[in-house]
Structure 1
Amino acid sequence: MPNNELINVLERHIKDPMGLEKIVSQPETDLFTVGLDSMSAFALIDDLEEIGISVEFTDLLANPTAQYLDSQLRE
């Protein structure tokens, strides 16, 4: 299960409540399949930096999951 801080950030960018539930229960879910788009991805990256997760846009495209983002928080 992803970190609570990460869930709070994702909640601002995933508009579909069912998508957010899926991310929490299945962190390997592709964020782009549950409502993230390229414009919101850039805003997400900015918000992630505020909680200590630094990712490049290309990294997010290659690994668009809460599981990946959570692993970056733990590094």
Structure 2
Amino acid sequence: MPDPCKPQACAIQACLNRTGYDESKCTQLIDQLYECCTKFYQEQGAEARSPCCPIPKLLNLKLQQRRKEQLDAKLL
């Protein structure tokens, strides 16, 4: 089965390459990937795996952090 979130993951990689790996310029694409991954796990179950998506527990943590902080991803 093809990975349904691969286009979003590839878009993030292309954005990072284009922007010199400045994640703050790819935030919208990261959000789109997380939305895709959320839908993937809702449809396939929490035991499903995708190389493009964080495991459900980590995905939920990342979503909580993004909602709480309302900050763009930044390089450390």
TM-score where L is the length of structure 2: 0.31
Q: TM-score, normalised by structure 1?
A: 0.31
- Structure of larger gyration radius: 2
